[in-house]
Amino acid sequence: MDMRQLVGTNFARLRREKGLTQEQVEARSGYSQQYLSSLERGRRNPTVITLFELSQALGVSHVELVKPDEDS
């Protein structure tokens, strides 16, 4: 799987598991809803800093955003 797609899929899954909307993550992280939407669709190539900041906004480890699906 493409790393951008993996991060986007993990981000979307974790956001939903936390019961957060993209708008709520926007308020917590400072990243726009448009950016978050593009990230979830695998169209963004986030930096390490961005991954760390987004993981903090979700309340998870940054490793969770790059962790491959165990079923893969």
Taking only the tens place, the pLDDT of each residue in 58-68 is 999 999 999 99
pTM of the model: 0.93
Domain range enclosing 42: 3-63
HSE (side-chain half, CA atoms, 13 Å) at 71:
1
- Tracing tokens 């903090």 back to the chain, one arrives at 56
Contacts 24+ apart (CB under 8 A), 20-28: 20/58, 25/54, 25/57, 25/58, 28/57
Per DSSP, the residues of 2-54 read: -HHHHHHHHHHHHHHHTT--HHHHHHHH---HHHHHHHHTT-----HHHHHHH
The answer to whether residue 48 is domain-embedded is yes
- Tell me the pLDDT tens digit for each residue of 7-63: 999 999 999 999 999 999 999 999 999 999 999 999 999 999 999 999 999 999 999
**CATH code of 37's domain:** 1.10.260.40
